[in-house]
Structure 1
Amino acid sequence: MRRNLLALLCALALAAGACGDDDGGGDDAEGGAEREATVTAIMDSTGASEDEADCIVDGAVEEFGDEALDPAFQPGPEQEEAFTALYSECGVDLGG
């Protein structure tokens, strides 16, 4: 289960690498492509559907803010529990 949780964190970190130059100007087309890449990475690493992956990205950013997208983000035990709950809320079975 921990491996799947780390796969999610790696997928979220991928998004941070793709959009790390946030200068406040924003480019909606670029941002959409970056989000789509993150959703796809989550789908590939976890077997989640697109809706489930969207739910995971939305929940992680809501719960942890942009920190969740930072490649250096290391979840503590409480955060791991929150990610596990997030998976469950989004309908993704982590397995055991």
Structure 2
Amino acid sequence: MILHRLGDIGFIFVFIGDHCVFLIHATPGGPAYSILGMHATPEAVAALNKQMGLDHPIWQQYGIWWVHLFEGNLGYSFTRMPLLPL
């Protein structure tokens, strides 16, 4: 019973991981345009792709993502939440 549940959890992690990595590449212009905005210059997009490793093949990016996940490195957030007054 417990092994079955652990298998289900593993399947869910892989399923969510697949979709996180592959769907971000389905955005118009790719992940760099999502971060920089649609009016970014091609030079800025190329620099960000190189800096973030987005110039590697998608299968390699996926493997690196899993390695970082197991190391506890969840990456950086590109959105800033405004602080709410208390």
- TM-score of the pair, normalised by structure 1: 0.29
Structure whose alpha-carbon radius of gyration is higher = 2
Q: Answer 1 or 2: which has greater helix percent.
A: 1
- TM-score of the pair, normalised by structure 2: 0.32
